[in-house]
Structure formats: C-alpha cells, structure tokens
C-alpha cells in the first residue's frame, strides 16, 4: 500500500499523522509512505526526525484579520494557490498513492483537493470538535471525514462520510512507564516533575507568565523538577527574561529549558503534572498517558475551540482549566503547588483520564485507509 500523508503548521497536525504512519509501517513492512507539507514548515523538521520522507508545496496560511496588511497577504496566498495545486499534482503523479490522508494544516488543502480530483481515495482527520477552515473545505470532497468527538457531527453536511475515530497518538504514550522515563531523562524519582509547553511556536503571554512562575519556584528552593519548552519564538528572549528576573537557568539543575520537546512520550510519562494549551492532540496524548493537567486554552483559535476542549476534560475531572485572562505566574504556581500536595486527587485524575482515552484511534484510521486503498483506480486511468 502506498500512503501519502499531508499535514503541517503545528505539531498538533503532524503528530497524529506520524502515529498512523508508524502503525502502517509496523503492520505492513512493504508499505510506501510519503509526507507532504508546506515550504519551511516545522513538519520539515519533525517528519525526517521520525524517519519518513517529505516533499513540500509552496503554500502559506491565511491571516484571520481585516487589517490592510493581512488582506494584502491573503490576496498573495490566494494567487499562489494555483502554484500549490500544480505542485501537489506533480507529487501525486510521481508517487501514485493508493490513498491520501490529510490531518490538518494549510498544506493539506492543495494535496487532498487535487488527489480527490484525480480519483485517488482521500480522508481528512479533524482532531478538534470544531473543524478548521481546511477541514471544512475538504469535507465537501474527501471520501471520508474522520472526527474525534461525537458532538462534531453537526458541523458537517454529509453525515454518510463521517467516521468517529478519536485522535491517534504514538503507542509510546501508553507503553512508557514513569520510572523508565525518569531514568532515561536523568530525573530524580524522589522529586515531583512538572512539564510546561504551549505549542511548537510558543505563546508569548504564557511564556511571560512562566518567567514569573519559574522565579517563584526558584525562590522556593525548587520544590519540583521543571521541564519547560519555550517554543520557537520564546527561545530567542526567554532565557534573558529569566536572567532579568534573577534566575540563572544554566545554574538551576532542577530547571530545564528547551525550544521544543521532541521526545514528548518520554517526557509526559515522567511528569506528575502537565501545564499546557488545550489543543485536541495534546489532550488525546495526556488522556492516553494518564497525566493530570492544568490547561490554559488559547484565546486566539477558531471558534474558541480550545476552551470547549478544556472544559470537557475539566468537567470529567481529568484536568483543571484556567482562562488566559485569569492567568498569572503566581496563580499558576499556587495551583500547581496545591495539586502536588494532593496525591490522592492526582491519582483520581490519572484514573479518569485513562477511562476517557481512545488508544485505538490509529488502528481505526489504518482500517479505513486499507478500505479506501482497495477502491483505488488503476494508475493508468488517472
């Protein structure tokens, strides 16, 4: 089976595709896999690290603004779409996939759209309860639309094409134990571990809050081990900001800063608490891993869908949600410190999270890809 995955923009789009690709390769050693992303996207880093080939198309994202500069940029994006579609067609003709799966990001649009027009079976996966623009457009043309939430059905016009699968996560999220993870990371077993990350690009306000959070933990003699990922944009300024707050990160052994966490299954397994945004992929991972979380939904996403994601998990007792407008470094620190003083509550949160998990999402998607691949037209007829 020849499978083409298309995704990009954020790790939340790339990681589900990688999870399915790993399963495909594990089940079928002869399977041929190709990823397609956007020029310069972070997928160009993540996908090769995972051992897969990637090609790119020249596509950029639309600006969600009515400012003149944003409107001008959107005009350029739309004018460049013809080039993206031609590039997608060339890749599809060269690779000749049996099936195409798009998991989100603007690179998915020209590839899935063109593949469907060429008669290649296609599927699009949406992790969030509220579909993004790319998924809404492609849902009109894709052979299958794979959703993660039952309540998402009402957002689509062709219910006969919908399949509830959940969001796929790497098997390492439920196969890695805490002691094993801490040993591999060189972390102490007798001291709690807190992990904080706010997306692959970083969130300016959240990183600013974390400067105050870290300054407070250092003033309290570091009551826990802390791993913080700044994201691409935060990496440039956050170490200096910590210095201005009196924290020398290089001389604080219980504090580890990184731009991005590449081994998230290992890091999440080691954690007692995760502090994060509420993207659907992140929530799927922490449910499978059974890691209690403090969630601060991004207020800058379509339809405020992260708040809906976080509220659902908080209502079920697996997480605590704080709106960003109510957040501060001090408030976050106090909440995390309080949770760490309640081991019984953390254990109950872990148990509840695992009951909500959908660890077989990748298997469901793989079965759908196999079904669609059997419908592939002979190559010469495309």
If you average pLDDT over residues 169-189, what whole number do you get? 94
Q: How confident is the model at residue 74 (pLDDT cuts 50, 70, 90)?
A: very low
Q: What is the spatial distance between Cα 368 and Cα 248, in angstroms, rounded to a whole number?
A: 51
User: Is pLDDT at 302 greater than 80 in this prediction?
Assistant: no
Chain mean pLDDT for the chain: 90
User: Is pLDDT at 48 greater than 60 in this prediction?
Assistant: yes
Q: What is the spatial distance between Cα 168 and Cα 20, in angstroms, rounded to a whole number?
A: 7
Q: Are strands 255-258 and 225-229 parallel, antiparallel or unpaired?
A: parallel
Between 255 and 149, name the one with better pLDDT: 255
pLDDT at res. 380: 45
Q: How confident is the model at residue 76 (pLDDT cuts 50, 70, 90)?
A: low
Q: What is the spatial distance between Cα 149 and Cα 167, in angstroms, rounded to a whole number?
A: 9
Cα atoms in the Cβ-side hemisphere of radius 13 Å centred on 168: 27
Three-state secondary structure of the chain: CEEEEECCCCHHHHHHHHHHHHHHHHHCCCCEEEEEEECCCCHHHHHHHCCCCEEEECCCCCCCCCCHHHHHHHHHHHHCHHHHHHHHHHHHHHHCCCEEEECCCCCHHHHHHHHHHCCCCEEEEECCCCCCHHHHHHCCCCCEEEECCHHHHHHCCCHHHEEECCCCCCCHHHHCCHHHHHHHHCCCCCCCEEEEECCCCCCHHHHHHHHHHHHHHHHCCCCCEEEEECHHHHCCCHHHHHHHCCCCHHHCCCEEEECCCCCHHHHHHHCCEEEECCCHHHHHHHHHHCCCEEECCCCCCHHHHHHHHHHHHHHCCCEEECCHHHCCHHHHHHHHHHHHCCHHHHHHHHHHHHHHCCCCHHHHHHHHHHHHHCCCCCHHHC
If you average pLDDT over residues 348-365, what whole number do you get? 94
Paired residues of 44 in beta bridges? none
Between 129 and 115, name the one with better pLDDT: 115
User: Is pLDDT at 303 greater than 90 in this prediction?
Assistant: no
Q: Are strands 193-197 and 144-147 parallel, antiparallel or unpaired?
A: unpaired
Please compute Rg for the chain using Cα positions: 21
pLDDT at res. 79: 58
CB 364 within 8 A of CB 115: no
User: Is pLDDT at 265 greater than 70 in this prediction?
Assistant: yes
pLDDT at res. 300: 80
**Domain boundaries 2-169+360-381, CATH class:** alpha beta
In the chain, which residues fall in CATH 3.40.50.2000?
Answer: 2-169+360-381, 172-356
pLDDT at res. 130: 80
pLDDT at res. 82: 81
Q: How confident is the model at residue 167 (pLDDT cuts 50, 70, 90)?
A: very high
pLDDT in tens, 212-245: 999 999 999 999 999 999 988 889 899 999 999 9
Give residue for tokens 């397609």.
36
Lowest mean pLDDT segment, chosen from 62-71, 90-99, 137-146: 62-71
Determine what percent of the chain is predicted with pLDDT higher than 90.
Answer: 71
pLDDT at res. 324: 93
Determine what percent of the chain is predicted with pLDDT higher than 70.
Answer: 92
Paired residues of 194 in beta bridges? 226, 273
Q: What is the CATH number of domain 172-356?
A: 3.40.50.2000
User: Is pLDDT at 102 greater than 80 in this prediction?
Assistant: yes
pLDDT at res. 381: 45
Tokens of 375: 């419908």
């Amino acid at each position: 089976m020849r499978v083409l995955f298309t995704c990009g923009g954020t790790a939340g789009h790339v990681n589900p595709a990688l999870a399915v690709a790993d399963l495909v390769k594990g089940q079928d050693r002869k399977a041929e896999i190709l990823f397609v992303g956007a020029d310069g996207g972070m997928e160009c880093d993540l996908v090769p690290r995972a051992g897969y080939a990637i090609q790119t198309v020249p596509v950029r994202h639309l600006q969600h603004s009515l400012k003149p500069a944003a409107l001008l940029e959107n005009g350029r994006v739309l004018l460049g779409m013809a080039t993206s579609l031609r590039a997608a067609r060339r890749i599809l003709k060269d690779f000749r996939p049996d099936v195409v799966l798009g998991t989100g990001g603007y690179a998915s649009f020209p590839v899935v759209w063109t593949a469907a027009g060429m008669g290649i079976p296609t599927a699009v996966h949406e992790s969030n309860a509220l579909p993004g623009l790319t998924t809404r457009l492609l849902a009109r043309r894709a052979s299958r639309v794979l959703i993660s939430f039952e309540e998402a059905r009402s957002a689509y016009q062709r219910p006969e094409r919908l399949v509830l699968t959940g969001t796929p996560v790497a098997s390492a999220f439920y196969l890695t134990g805490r002691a094993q993870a801490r040993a591999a990371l060189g972390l102490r077993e007798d001291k709690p571990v807190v992990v904080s990350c706010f997306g692959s690009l970083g969130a300016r306000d959240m990183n600013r809050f974390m400067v105050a959070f870290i300054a407070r933990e250092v003033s309290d003699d570091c009551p826990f081990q802390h791993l913080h990922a700044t994201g691409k944009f935060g990496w440039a300024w956050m170490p200096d900001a910590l210095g201005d707050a009196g924290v020398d990160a290089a001389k604080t052994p219980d504090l580890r800063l990184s731009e991005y966490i590449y081994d998230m299954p290992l890091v999440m397994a080691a954690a007692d608490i995760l502090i994060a945004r509420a993207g659907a992929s992140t929530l799927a991972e922490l449910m499978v891993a059974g890691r209690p979380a403090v969630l601060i939904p991004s207020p800058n996403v379509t339809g405020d869908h992260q708040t809906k994601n976080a509220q659902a998990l908080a209502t079920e007792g697996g997480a605590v949600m704080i709106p960003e407008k109510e957040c501060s470094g001090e408030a976050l620190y106090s909440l995390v410190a309080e949770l760490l003083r309640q081991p019984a509550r953390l254990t109950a949160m872990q148990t509840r999270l695992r009951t909500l998990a959908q660890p077989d999402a990748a298997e469901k998607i793989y079965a759908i890809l196999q079904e669609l691949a059997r419908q592939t037209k002979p190559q010469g007829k495309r």
